[in-house]
């Protein structure tokens, strides 16, 4: 049972003469505390799933083929039980997370679990094959409080290797900070993370991403399809697409049975 002392230690209140500023600090601190608690559980869950898959694969004779079959069966059964969140792609990510960070929780022994990055950070880091580079990105992401978008950009732009090769490291660092400044602005962006909603078993609320254009098209769907031309059929709205890099939501999905292809409409 959590007492008042434990809660006060989680959210340290700083009283000022500005009550609105004080309220904002309390609310945002509470949101961050709740997020970090959920994130810790999510990261640990995914690490444990990856560990269990790794142990299962080691027991197989033909490990590659057996591992593929294990993940395929797990994905089907877990999706039947829990719904979204357990695609083969996700399970491979958990497995890779454990194999790339096998001692992450052992190294945190005696330290604060607040030193963990978010699951989305780790899912981005497992794209990096080079162990030294991966560990460097993880350390920098934590120490410099990089957003996921900043981390993704730095990995994609070979930031680590460019720093290694240059004698003018400060110029490269300053350029990176300028180019990623917009990615660092929204401090509460993590609250909208669909991965967290999925982990907690909530249905994704897409109200915040609806535009007047999308609403108008849905309302006048028949007319819009006729304007597109022959062979179009409406498939879905706010279609969730998961990749190794991040989650996407396609505003509108159509299929043309003449061309035999999908048409995706999304806002930049």
pLDDT of 114: 56
Cα dihedral: 137, 140, 143, 149 (round 10): -70
Note whether residue 121 is domain-resident. no
Distance CA 146, CA 87 (A): 27
CA atoms within 13 A on the CB side of 89: 11
Distance CA 225, CA 221 (A): 6
The model carries a pTM of: 0.65
Q: Please give the C-alpha separations between residue 229 and each of 24, 217, 223, 255, 257, in angstroms, as whole numbers.
A: 51, 15, 10, 12, 12
pLDDT of 5: 44
* 12 shares a domain with 51: yes
Residue 239 β-bridge partners: 250
Note whether residue 57 is domain-resident. yes
* 111 shares a domain with 71: yes
* 103 shares a domain with 3: yes
* 177 shares a domain with 236: no
Range 85-98 average pLDDT: 91
- H or E stretch covering 232: strand 232-242
74 — pLDDT class (breaks 50, 70, 90): very high
- Tens digit of each residue's pLDDT (9 = 90 or more) over 138-193: 999 999 989 888 999 899 889 999 998 888 889 988 888 888 888 776 655 555 56
Given 68, 84, 116, which residue is the final one in a domain? 116
Distance CA 126, CA 122 (A): 6
Confirm if 242 and 87 have CB atoms less than 8 A apart.
yes
- Tens digit of each residue's pLDDT (9 = 90 or more) over 195-218: 666 666 655 544 444 455 556 656
Confirm if 202 and 46 have CB atoms less than 8 A apart.
no
**For residue 44, pLDDT beyond 70:** yes
* 149 shares a domain with 80: no
pLDDT of 7: 46
Distance CA 102, CA 132 (A): 15
In the chain the first and final C-alpha atoms are separated, in Å, by 46
Residue 5 β-bridge partners: none
pLDDT of 107: 64
Greater confidence (20 vs 65) lies with 20
**For residue 245, pLDDT beyond 80:** no
Residue with the two structure tokens 């396609």: 250
The one-character DSSP state at 95 is H
Annotate 111-131 with b (16+ C-beta within 10 A) or e (fewer): eeeeebbbbbbbbbbbebeee
* 92 shares a domain with 9: yes
* 215 shares a domain with 181: no
Given 182, 205, 228, which residue is the final one in a domain? 205
Q: Which domain holds residue 234?
A: 207-265
Residue 247 β-bridge partners: 242
């Amino acid at each position: 049972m959590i007492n008042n002392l434990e809660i006060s230690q989680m959210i340290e209140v700083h009283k000022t003469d500005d009550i609105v500023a004080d309220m904002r600090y309390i609310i945002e601190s509470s949101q961050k505390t709740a997020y970090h608690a959920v994130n810790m559980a999510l990261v640990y869950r995914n690490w444990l799933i990856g560990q269990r898959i790794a142990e299962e694969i080691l027991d197989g004779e033909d490990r590659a083929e057996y591992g593929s079959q294990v993940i395929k069966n797990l994905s089907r059964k877990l999706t039947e039980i829990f719904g979204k969140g357990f695609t083969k792609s996700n399970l491979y990510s958990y497995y890779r997370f454990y194999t790339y960070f096998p001692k992450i929780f052992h190294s945190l022994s005696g330290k604060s679990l607040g030193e963990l990055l978010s699951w989305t950070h780790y899912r981005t880091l497992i794209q990096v094959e080079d162990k030294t580079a991966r560990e460097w990105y993880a350390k920098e992401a934590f120490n410099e409080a990089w957003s996921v978008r900043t981390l993704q950009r730095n990995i994609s732009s070979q930031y680590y290797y460019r720093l290694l090769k240059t004698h003018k490291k400060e110029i490269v660092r300053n350029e990176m900070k300028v180019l990623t400044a917009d990615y660092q602005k929204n401090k509460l962006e993590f609250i909208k993370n669909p991965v967290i909603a999925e982990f907690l078993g909530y249905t994704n609320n897409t109200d915040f991403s609806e535009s007047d254009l999308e609403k108008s098209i849905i309302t006048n769907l028949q007319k819009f399809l006729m304007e597109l031309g022959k062979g179009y059929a409406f498939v879905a709205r706010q279609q969730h697409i998961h990749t190794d890099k991040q989650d996407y939501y396609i505003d509108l999905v159509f299929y043309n049975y003449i061309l035999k292809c999908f048409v995706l409409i999304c806002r930049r």
